[in-house]
């Protein structure tokens, strides 16, 4: 089967082979993705959202039941287990004097505060009617509102009696911020349990129940209502008015299909927690992503189809250009011989490629060694330029000391010079930063002998950096440049500092001075330096350092020169951190040190 399939594809040119091989798999892959996302993930997400919403509704129902249960237990203790309240319910106040009535009301007020209002800040008013129709309220009530209060109590008394002592919830006319919790009171004996002796009304803040009903998540798509047994809306947490909500609950055609309604009965007062889910809002992001996905799939398939056709049309020209490039290349790959059995353009490509590898195999060692020798010659040439330049300036310093008659100083300077020259001529090309700093200190001693207190030196290099290797004679020419061209001509005291720092991969050494500053054209030449640039002999040292570092580590490393405040120069050396001497086969991370 495999052989037959191979023979089938060998009949096509490369362009048609790509189209026939790729297009069916691309279309099939997108079909699988589309089906999996739309029919599996989408349905799972809907189920998860509805299940989460259902759990939220159950929690809201439990919270309200708990709240109403607390009201039931609280009012039961207040009405049936408090003797003063029981006395009030069965006492006719008509025969009593004003003083006796006030005393009775004070006892009722004490228990009302203790058992009801003090522990429940949401209870805004307590109204208690006894069997004689007398009214106690914890708020001041005037004669013109007394009849209104009794009329409201009479309007809900029949409904409360139907529930025989259980709590009911009702709205308060003209007070949209309040709800009424009401219950009838009976004689607490089996023989007289149907004899009503009072009627209790608690006006509570609507916000206390709204906070229990309001959804914390997806509040713009999931609305919770509290309705009574007749379908009347008691609390509405949605942004719709009651008429719109009632239309949705009735299932009017205008809202059909947009909202999903769920009802759960409370254990008290025949009320229901009703939830309306606006699917157009809840799944708006899902629908938008679904449309974007379909559009992206169509665009992607179109792009891929165009790319396949374009690649098929261009492949023959690409192969021809690749063949020409392979004939000219000198890339090394000894194990890259290929065998091509098909009858298309790749057969010729394989032949050319194998012939090229044969030529490369003979040239690889010669070319590589030639490159190594060339770079070594460049480094030796630069080192040869650095050493005489340094020697010339140091001997000039010795000459000055001789003129001054400082024989002991000349001896110390010559000894330091000998140590420095021994380091520069003999030994490895790379030394540790600690070793290089020791030679810098000897060089600074030489300069201090010449300039005395005219120049101050500061070295602040953490000892943790001493272990890293740097090319020798990297710091000394830069310090020398700062002295000769920076601070030597100053009338005030010149200052030169050497500072060290590091990051994850790089070592930075800063040489700063307060001298006259490096000319801008020299800084620009250093930034754009190439092998064809003519370099002034006055600044040959710093240019040689830059060229040496870039030969060793690449053009991403080297020197960066900037000005310091109003005058002065800062030269920053950026090289890779290494606790071993430089090796030619080391790959250094490309960074921007500038």
Span 154-194, pLDDT tens digits: 888 988 888 888 888 888 888 888 888 999 999 887 667 78
User: Token match 């379909």: residue?
Assistant: 294
CB 80: neighbour CB atoms within 10 A? 15
Q: How many alpha carbons lie under 13 Å from residue 53 in its C-beta half-sphere?
A: 23
d(CA 505, CA 588): 9
Residue 182 parent element (H or E): strand 178-186
Q: What is the 3-state secondary structure (H, E, C) of 364-429?
A: HHHHHHHHHHHHHHHHHHHHHHHHHHHHHHHHHHHHHHHHHCCHHHHHHHHHHHHHHHHHHHCCCC
For each of the chain's 594 residues, which pLDDT tens digit applies?
767 767 776 676 666 777 777 777 777 887 777 777 677 777 777 788 778 777 877 888 888 888 888 888 999 999 999 999 999 998 888 888 889 988 999 999 999 999 998 888 889 889 999 988 888 988 876 656 778 888 888 888 988 888 888 888 888 888 888 888 999 999 887 667 788 999 999 998 888 778 777 776 666 677 788 888 777 888 888 777 778 787 777 776 555 557 777 788 887 767 888 887 777 777 777 777 777 877 777 787 788 777 777 666 666 655 665 565 455 555 555 544 666 666 666 667 667 766 766 766 656 545 444 554 455 555 555 454 445 655 676 677 677 777 777 777 778 878 887 877 777 666 677 889 999 898 888 888 877 776 777 888 899 999 999 999 998 878 888 888 888 777 877 778 888 999 999 998 899 999 998 888 888 888 887 777 765 555 555 566 788 888 888 888 888 888 988 877 667 889 999 999 988 886 655 555 555 565
Listed residue (55, 172, 237, 264) closest to 245, CA to CA: 237
Q: DSSP secondary structure string, 79-122? A: HHS-HHHHHHHH---TTS-HHHHHHHHHHHHHHHIIIIITT-TT
pTM of the predicted model, to two decimals?
0.45
Q: What pLDDT sits at residue 147?
A: 82
Per the DSSP assignment, residues forming a β-bridge with 507 are 502, 575
Listed residue (430, 424, 377) closest to 581, CA to CA: 430
Q: What pLDDT sits at residue 425?
A: 67
Which phi and psi angles does 404 have, rounded to 5°? -85, -5
What's the token pair of residue 496? 């030169």
Strand order across the 196-205 sheet: 135-137, 123-130, 196-205, 178-186, 168-171
User: Token match 């950096």: residue?
Assistant: 465
Span 130-145, pLDDT tens digits: 988 888 988 876 656 7
d(CA 138, CA 197): 20
């Amino acid at each position: 089967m495999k052989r037959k399939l191979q023979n089938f594809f060998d009949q096509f040119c490369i362009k048609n082979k790509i189209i026939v091989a790729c297009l069916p798999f691309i279309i099939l892959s997108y079909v699988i993705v589309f089906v999996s996302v739309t029919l599996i993930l989408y349905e799972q997400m809907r189920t998860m959202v509805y299940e989460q919403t259902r759990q939220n509704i159950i929690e809201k129902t439990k919270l309200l039941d708990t709240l109403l249960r607390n009201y039931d237990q609280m009012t039961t203790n207040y009405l049936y287990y408090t003797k003063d309240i029981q006395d009030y319910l069965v006492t006719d106040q008509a025969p009593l004097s004003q003083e006796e009535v006030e005393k009775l009301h004070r006892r009722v007020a004490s228990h009302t505060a203790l058992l009801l209002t003090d522990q429940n800040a949401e209870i805004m008013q307590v109204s208690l009617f006894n069997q004689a129709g007398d009214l106690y309220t914890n708020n001041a009530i005037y004669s013109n509102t007394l009849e209104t209060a009794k009329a409201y109590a009479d309007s809900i008394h029949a409904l409360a009696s139907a529930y025989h002592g259980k709590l009911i919830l009702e709205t308060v006319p003209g007070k949209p911020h309040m709800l009424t919790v009401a219950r009838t009171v009976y004689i607490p004996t089996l023989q007289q349990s149907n004899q009503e002796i009072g009627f209790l009304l608690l006006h509570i803040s609507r916000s206390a129940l709204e906070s229990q009903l309001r959804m914390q998540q997806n509040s713009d798509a999931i609305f919770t209502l509290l309705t009574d047994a007749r379908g009347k809306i008691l609390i509405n947490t949605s942004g719709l008015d009651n008429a719109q909500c009632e239309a949705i609950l009735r299932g009017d055609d205008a809202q059909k299909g947009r909202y999903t309604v769920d009802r759960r009965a409370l254990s008290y007062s025949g009320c229901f927690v009703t939830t309306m889910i606006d699917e157009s809002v809840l799944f708006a992001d899902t629908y938008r992503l679904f449309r974007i996905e379909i559009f992206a799939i169509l665009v992607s398939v179109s792009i891929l189809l165009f790319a396949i056709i374009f690649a098929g049309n261009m492949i023959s020209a690409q192969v021809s250009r690749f063949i020409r490039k392979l004939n000219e290349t000198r890339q090394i790959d000894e194990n890259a011989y290929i065998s091509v059995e098909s009858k298309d353009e790749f057969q010729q490509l394989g032949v050319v490629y194998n012939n090229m590898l044969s030529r490369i195999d003979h040239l690889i060692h010669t070319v590589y060694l030639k490159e190594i020798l060339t770079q070594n010659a460049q480094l030796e040439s630069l080192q040869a330029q650095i050493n005489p330049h340094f020697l010339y300036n140091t001997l000039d310093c010795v000459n000055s000391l001789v003129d001054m008659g400082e024989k002991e100083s000349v001896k110390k300077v010559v000894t330091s010079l000998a140590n420095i020259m021994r380091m520069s001529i003999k030994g490895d090309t790379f030394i540790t930063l600690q070793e290089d700093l020791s030679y810098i200190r000897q060089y600074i001693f030489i300069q201090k002998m010449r300039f005395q207190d005219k120049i101050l030196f500061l070295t602040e290099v953490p000892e943790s950096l001493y272990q890293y290797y740097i090319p020798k004679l990297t710091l000394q020419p830069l310090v020398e440049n700062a002295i000769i061209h920076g601070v030597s001509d100053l009338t005030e005291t010149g200052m030169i500092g050497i500072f060290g720092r590091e990051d994850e991969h790089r070592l930075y050494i800063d040489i700063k001075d307060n001298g006259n500053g490096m000319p801008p054209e020299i800084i620009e030449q250093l930034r754009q330096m190439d092998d064809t640039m003519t370099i002034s002999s006055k600044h040959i040292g710093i240019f040689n350092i830059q060229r040496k570092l870039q030969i060793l580590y690449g053009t991403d490393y080297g020197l960066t020169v900037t000005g310091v405040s109003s005058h002065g120069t800062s030269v920053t050396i950026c090289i890779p951190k290494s606790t071993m001497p430089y090796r030619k086969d080391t790959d250094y991370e490309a960074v921007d040190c500038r």
